[in-house]
Amino acid sequence: MKLKLKLKLLLSFFLFFFLACSKETPDRINDYDLQALASLDWGEETTFVIGHKNPDTDATCSAICYAYLMRQLGYNVEARVPGEVNNETAFVLDWFNTETPEIMNDASGKRIILTDHSEAVQAVNGIEEARILQIIDHHGLGSIVEANPLFIKTMPVGSTCTVIYYSFKDYQVELIPPYAGLLLSALISDTNNITSSTTTDLDRTAYQELLALSGISDIDLYYQNMQAAASSYFGMNDVEIFLSDYKDYSDISGYNIGVTCVNSRTDNHNDICTRMLAVMPQILTDNGRDMVFAIVINVQDEYTDILYYGEGAKAAAESAFGQSSNNRIRVQGMMSRKKDFIPKITEVFQQK
């Protein structure tokens, strides 16, 4: 009996040892990926990683981090953007002391790696004349055409940066702070801080490790700051802000009006209101309106100030929405132009 038990123990020891060794299998699979990357026709010149037009944080950070990953694997790769980055992305890059990639206006004749898209209309100009080496994405497959062999990795996860996080793991390249922070920022940007319906367990796992590496102590506050940057309209002049979500409405019971919607936050709400009021006379003249209105929504505290300008605008706005003070009518909640403002103001005009 005792000998049998010893034999059993010995057997299970060998079995354990064997299983422990066979755990190496995933690494061998990843070696295949590395060999496939090595088989690409890299050419002599620099290859560029680039996200979609109107670049967002995921498109930009994925390009920066994937270019770094490729460089760590020994390839001559740099990141580019197809246009100016938005204020949220600028905030993120600034936070992690990372330079904004150079703008690329024409990709023709170049070797390109696409991130965060595979749709031709979203791609940098000249993509038809470029050589696409790789596509790294988390969307459905788009209309990009490439005649030569290429490497594609797309996963059904919350962000392209999640895909790239797992590539760092697969290729055993160490994730160092600036890149970990950029991957994390893109992940929370695309998933509403890990709350969107597109968030997967792979995203949540990546989030935990990236958060630990990023040096961010209060992720909710950091995410709030990202959102604040997105609605700061920094670098835009007052007319540009006014026109960014402006619509004309003609002949509402004989009146031609213009209405804009602007989002604000508690720290810039009054400033935005003052700036919008200042440009309303010019907007009225330029667009041939009888009256113009601005719906300024504080998305943080969830209230709305309605601003008005033009002959009869004050009376119309007051009878629709209540008493004004300092050229504003304060309404609780976040007002919708389509569902709240237009029906009520139309009713007032009809009564006249």
Q: Closest residue to Mn ion, Cβ-based?
A: 58
Q: What's the closest the beta carbon of residue 143 comes to Mn ion, in angstroms?
A: 17
Identify which of residues 159 and 231 has a Cβ nearer to Mn ion in the complex.
Answer: 159
Identify which of residues 132 and 186 has a Cβ nearer to Mn ion in the complex.
Answer: 186
Task: Establish how many alpha carbons lie within 13 A of residue 351's alpha carbon, considering only the half-sphere containing its beta carbon.
Answer: 10
Distance CA 108, CA 127 (A): 6
Distance of CA 46 to the CA centre of its chain: 26
Regarding beta strands 291-298 and 255-264, do their DSSP bridges make them parallel or antiparallel, or are they unpaired? Answer: parallel
Q: Which residues contact 100 (CB under 8 A, 6 or more apart)?
A: 60, 81, 85, 90, 93
Q: What's the closest the beta carbon of residue 138 comes to Mn ion, in angstroms?
A: 6
Task: List contacts with Mn ion (CB under 5 A).
Answer: 56, 58-59, 116, 159-160, 190
Q: What's the closest the beta carbon of residue 211 comes to Mn ion, in angstroms?
A: 19
Identify which of residues 116 and 238 has a Cβ nearer to Mn ion in the complex.
Answer: 116
- Joined tokens for residue 241: 């802000």
Q: What's the closest the beta carbon of residue 279 comes to Mn ion, in angstroms?
A: 31
Distance CA 133, CA 116 (A): 15
Identify which of residues 115 and 268 has a Cβ nearer to Mn ion in the complex.
Answer: 115
Q: What's the closest the beta carbon of residue 301 comes to Mn ion, in angstroms?
A: 29
Amino acid occupying residue 59: A
Q: What's the closest the beta carbon of residue 159 comes to Mn ion, in angstroms?
A: 5
Q: Give one DSSP letter per residue of 83-114, joined into a string.
A: SPPPHHHHHHHHHTT-PPPPB-S--TTSEEEE
Q: Is-contact 10 147, C-beta < 8 A?
A: no
Identify which of residues 118 and 232 has a Cβ nearer to Mn ion in the complex.
Answer: 118
Q: Other C-beta atoms within 10 Å of 247: how many?
A: 12
Identify which of residues 190 and 203 has a Cβ nearer to Mn ion in the complex.
Answer: 190
Q: What's the closest the beta carbon of residue 182 comes to Mn ion, in angstroms?
A: 13
Identify which of residues 157 and 262 has a Cβ nearer to Mn ion in the complex.
Answer: 157
Amino acid occupying residue 4: K
DSSP assignment letter at 237? -
Distance CA 61, CA 185 (A): 8
